[in-house]
Amino acid sequence: MQSSCNSNHSVIRVAIAWIVTVIGAALLLPCCFAQEKPYFVTYSSDLEEPGNLEVSSKTVQSAPQYGNAFLSETLEFEYGAKAWWTTEVYLSGQHTFNDSTVFGGWRWENRFSPLPRHHIINPILYVEYEDLNLAEKSILEVTGHATQADYLLTNAQARNDVERSLEMKLILSSDFKGWNIAENFITEKAFSSEPWEFGYALGASRPLRLAASAKPCMFCRENFAAGVELYGGLGDANSFGLQATSQYLGPSIAFNIPNGPSLSFGANFGLNANSLPQIWRFNVSYEFQQVFRHLHRDRSDGQ
């Protein structure tokens, strides 16, 4: 019991340190207003502006039908390396009620745009290295034959089983009269004898109003975007298809605060008995303009 309490206190201290760091950076660095799409699993063709850094907190709450509820937290650091290349690092942890708090692992993601201009359909190539243990519960994607039974292991059973894998996605995205339609095909391979696993994600979204208001305001309709996502597993190389997979559908909404953070909320509902009954999602993100150039200028001034 004492060990569990100390673990929880350590996580709380780390969370407070991250919050203080982000707030401090927000006060020191210039920000820019990003029109975030209300997607949690689906990717569109949007890339980070070169030199900009976006810091995000992705929160997931859910519970298997016959298991303990859990709360997952993922910190994301997204940097625009080039106009055609965005790179990100993820750090994930989770707390399972009536169990413990554990670190789930990390990811390194890269997205590349092969085309210099926007077209009717815009492709993005996605490559990610994952170093995660089985206790990780961020649900950033669903592949293979994942079911809610995967969330019944205790943290003590799952945390020592580490899986390193490569994940790739083909992202297709189209914009038409304010609407964004995005399709993702996902493939994942563990660096082991496990077969290739497959999944998908589909999303559609639109701002509540396209034209900006004549006067600046926070709660204008153009600062909100609504969407819907459908995603799930497609089996593996030995058994491709929807059989024995989990599938989810749900709405979402994003509030892009002018000169401030973007907030997103979504509810995903399981479509079959293999799926978690509900997944509640909340994201908050803040974008800093030209962060590394700003720090370099400060060092030059100090010299």
Instruction: List, in order, residues 6 or more apart from 100 with CB less than 8 Å away.
Output: 4, 7, 155, 156
Burial class (CB in 10 A: 0-12, 13-18, 19+), 190: middle
Domain that holds residue 32: 2-302
Q: Are 282 and 59 in contact (CB under 8 A)?
A: yes
pTM of the predicted protein model: 0.85
Report how far residue 250's alpha carbon sits from residue 229's, in angstroms, rounded to the nearest whole number. 6
Mean of per-residue pLDDT scores for the chain: 88
Confidence class for position 181, pLDDT limits 50, 70, 90 = very high
Instruction: List, in order, residues 6 or more apart from 265 with CB less than 8 Å away.
Output: 252, 253, 281, 282, 283
Read off the CATH number of the domain in which 181 is found: 2.40.160.40
Q: What is the mean pLDDT of residues 69-91?
A: 98
Please measure the distance between the N-terminal and C-terminal CA atoms of the chain and give it in whole angstroms: 52
Confidence class for position 11, pLDDT limits 50, 70, 90 = very low
Residue 243 is classified by DSSP as T
Q: Looking at the 3D structure of the chain, how many domains does it have?
A: 1
Q: pLDDT, tens digit, for every residue of 91-120?
A: 999 999 999 999 999 999 999 999 988 899
Report how far residue 41's alpha carbon sits from residue 37's, in angstroms, rounded to the nearest whole number. 11
Q: pLDDT, tens digit, for every residue of 231-257?
A: 999 999 999 999 999 999 999 999 999
- Residue 12 predicted with pLDDT over 70: no
Report how far residue 200's alpha carbon sits from residue 169's, in angstroms, rounded to the nearest whole number. 9
